[in-house]
Structure formats: C-alpha cells, structure tokens
C-alpha cells in the first residue's frame, strides 16, 4: 500500500490547492530501478487518484493526474515495486521543480 491510511486522511482533496501560487507537495513516489518520480499534491481516496508533478525522466516533467492503483501494480525488475519515499518532507512545488531541473 503506497498511501497508509494515517497519511491518506491528512492529504488535500483534489482541487483543494487549485489556484494556489505554490502548492505543497505531500508525498514522493519513485521507481527504485529507474529515475521516474511522482510528487503528490492532492488526492481522492475514493478513486485512488492523485494530482501532482510527474517526472518520468524523459525531459518533459509535467503536472497531471496519476492513478495510485496503477503505480501499485507496476511490475519492476527483481520483483521490486514503486515505493513511497519515507524520508521525503512536504515541500513547495517550486522547490521540487527547481530540484528536478538541476538534476536533469
């Protein structure tokens, strides 16, 4: 389970940060065998649907929706799965974007 219930209840609902100049990113998911990352800003538990910054290491990171169920079902080499970065601290989206540009 990528989003434990105790965290799920603290996340902003979809569209809650709509129009915010610099929304907060609450969770980072990553591919441990590659460079892909998903940064959650809002979440709908009923649909298991998130919105946030998606960086698929293709040079075209973007804001968009992504399915947590789909992330949980991705099969990676060596029986690994997409993981939640347990050390990630909530950060403004502008900081995530700046770090993404400097890493690329």
Instruction: Render pLDDT for 15-42 as a digit per residue (tens, 0 to 9).
Output: 999 999 999 999 999 999 998 999 999 9
Tokens of 26: 């609450």
Under 8 Å between Cβ of 104 and 40? no
Per-residue pLDDT band for 104 (boundaries 50, 70, 90) equals: low
Q: What are phi and psi of 6, to 5 degrees?
A: -65, -25
* CA–CA dist 42, 65 (Å, integer): 9
């Amino acid at each position: 389970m990528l989003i434990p219930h105790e965290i799920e209840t603290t996340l902003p609902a979809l569209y809650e940060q709509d129009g915010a100049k610099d929304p907060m990113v609450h969770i980072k998911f990553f591919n441990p065998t590659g460079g892909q990352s998903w940064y959650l800003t809002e979440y709908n538990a009923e649909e298991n649907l998130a919105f946030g910054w998606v960086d698929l290491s293709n040079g075209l990171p973007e804001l968009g929706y992504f399915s947590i169920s789909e992330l949980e079902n991705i099969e990676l080499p060596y029986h690994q799965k997409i993981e939640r970065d347990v050390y990630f601290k909530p950060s403004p989206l502008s900081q995530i974007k700046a770090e993404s540009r400097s890493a690329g």
